[in-house]
């Protein structure tokens, strides 16, 4: 299938449910927008991922799409198809790899899932999306992720972090067993502070807020509290200013990639780093020692010294890319 841009006025994208996954698809979608600059673009996206696209001017319409809650069962699926057809898309891209395109009435209705089946599992998720987009005739003009940051968000970030070089630590994550131990983040934070850097610490969930407070307590005046960061857009602007981010395997890693921030990622398994690690930015992915029997054991086996060495290399301008 090759899309003729002259025959596409309306584009519907069925987006993903997780923030990180939506960011990993952003580069492919941006290439689609560059290919169809005059088309009307709408995205239906999960509530956890909507902040990845909500403020981006490339979308004329953004609809929150919570399939399990709002469209359960057979009647729910029929209702979704009805809403899709009511939009009258000329092109539909279903990032969820579902069968909705078959019933959309669109002139161009590629099945993303079938295209992905042909790719090795080792191909990075951002690359997979780019390959699928290229397969329908979309020229790949950029390989970078996209995350729109407004001037207002830039100004808010400047008020949060002020002037001077700083590093962002993200010690949280929605699945606690895949977090690097808090005491390791605290030791890394102190080392970075001794290097003369300010250290910003994130935290959103209740236990993350408490953990961030304990790390910040040890930093004193060198700490920057990002727990009150008002939005994902402002966090993206903060990351754009940061010299480095160190994070567990969670959505902000991909936000850092979109912002172009050098990143140290901490992973419980090598396959995760290979397929879902940082993209198109200087980075190092740290992996556990062999033989770990649980997520906690795996994450705890990543030495603090390895994280310090990786951080120092990236801060010096070295490129790990592991």
Closest among 219, 226, 217, 211 to 192, alpha carbons compared: 219
Closest among 275, 267, 314 to 295, alpha carbons compared: 267
Q: Which of 73, 101, 134 is the last residue of a domain?
A: 134
Summarize pLDDT for 252-302 with one digit per residue, the tens.
999 999 999 999 999 998 899 999 999 999 999 999 998 888 999 999 999
Q: Assess whether pLDDT exceeds 90 at residue 70.
A: no
Q: Model confidence at 112, in pLDDT bands (50, 70, 90)?
A: confident
Residue 140: inside a domain: no
Specify whether 120 is located in the same domain as 155.
Answer: no
Q: Rounded to two decimals, what is the model's pTM? A: 0.92
pLDDT of residue 107: 97
Residue 321: inside a domain: no
| Contact present, 226 and 196 (Cβ < 8 Å) | no
pLDDT of residue 19: 94
Residue 279 phi, psi dihedral angles, 5° rounding: -135, 130
The β-bridge relationship of strands 40-45 and 61-64 is parallel
Summarize pLDDT for 15-55 with one digit per residue, the tens.
999 999 999 999 999 999 999 999 999 999 999 999 999 99
Residue 78: inside a domain: yes
Specify whether 106 is located in the same domain as 163.
Answer: no
The three-state secondary structure class of 136 is coil
Specify whether 124 is located in the same domain as 189.
Answer: no
Specify whether 52 is located in the same domain as 178.
Answer: no
Can you give the CATH number for the domain in which 113 is found? 3.40.50.2000
Mean pLDDT of the chain: 94
Residue 234: inside a domain: yes
Specify whether 50 is located in the same domain as 94.
Answer: yes
What is the number of structural domains in the chain?
A: 2
Give dist(CA 52, CA 54) in Å, integer: 6
Residue 120: inside a domain: yes
| Contact present, 189 and 219 (Cβ < 8 Å) | yes
Specify whether 105 is located in the same domain as 188.
Answer: no
Give dist(CA 295, CA 301) in Å, integer: 10
Specify whether 107 is located in the same domain as 193.
Answer: no
Specify whether 228 is located in the same domain as 301.
Answer: yes
Specify whether 220 is located in the same domain as 114.
Answer: no
For 189, the domain range is: 151-316
63's enclosing H/E stretch is: strand 61-64
Residue 222: inside a domain: yes
Specify whether 118 is located in the same domain as 248.
Answer: no
Q: Model confidence at 69, in pLDDT bands (50, 70, 90)?
A: confident
Q: Where are the alpha helices (DSSP H) in 249-303?
A: 251-259, 270-276, 295-300
Residue 36: inside a domain: yes
Summarize pLDDT for 116-148 with one digit per residue, the tens.
778 888 899 999 999 999 999 999 999 999 999
Q: Which of 101, 134, 167 is the last residue of a domain?
A: 134
Eight-state DSSP code of residue 248? E
The three-state secondary structure class of 16 is coil
Residue 146: inside a domain: no
Q: Assess whether pLDDT exceeds 70 at residue 321.
A: no
pLDDT of residue 97: 87
Eight-state DSSP code of residue 288? P
For the chain, give me the number of helices (H) and strands (E)? 14, 10
């Amino acid at each position: 299938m090759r899309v003729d841009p002259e025959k596409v006025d309306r584009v519907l994208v069925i987006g993903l449910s997780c923030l990180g996954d939506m960011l990993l698809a952003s580069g492919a979608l941006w290439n689609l927008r560059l290919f169809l600059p005059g088309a009307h673009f709408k995205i239906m996206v999960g509530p956890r991922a909507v902040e990845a696209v909500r403020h981006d001017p490339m979308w004329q319409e953004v609809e929150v799409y919570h399939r399990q809650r709002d469209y359960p069962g057979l009647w729910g699926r029929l209702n979704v198809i009805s809403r899709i057809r009511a939009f009258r898309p000329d092109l539909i891209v279903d990032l969820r790899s579902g069968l909705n395109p078959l019933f959309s009435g669109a002139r161009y209705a590629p099945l993303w899932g079938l295209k992905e089946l042909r790719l090795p599992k080792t191909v990075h998720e951002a690359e997979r999306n780019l390959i699928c987009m290229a397969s329908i005739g979309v020229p790949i003009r950029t390989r970078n992720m996209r995350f729109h940051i407004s001037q207002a968000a830039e100004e808010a970030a400047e008020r949060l972090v002020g002037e001077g070089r700083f590093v962002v630590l993200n010690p949280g994550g929605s699945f606690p067993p895949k977090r690097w131990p808090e005491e390791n983040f605290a030791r890394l934070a102190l080392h970075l502070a001794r290097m003369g850097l300010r250290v910003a610490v994130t935290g959103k969930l209740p236990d993350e807020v408490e953990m961030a407070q304990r790390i910040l307590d040890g930093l004193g005046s060198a700490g920057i509290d990002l727990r009150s960061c008002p939005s994902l857009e402002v966090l993206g602007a903060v990351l754009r200013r940061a010299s480095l981010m160190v994070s567990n395997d969670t959505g902000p890693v991909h936000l850092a990639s979109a912002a172009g921030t050098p990143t140290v990622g901490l992973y419980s398994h090598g396959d995760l780093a290979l397929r879902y690690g940082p993209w198109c930015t200087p980075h190092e992915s740290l992996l556990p020692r062999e033989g770990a029997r649980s997520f906690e054991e795996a994450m705890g086996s990543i030495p603090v010294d390895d994280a310090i060495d990786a951080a120092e290399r990236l801060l010096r301008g070295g490129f790990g890319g592991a």
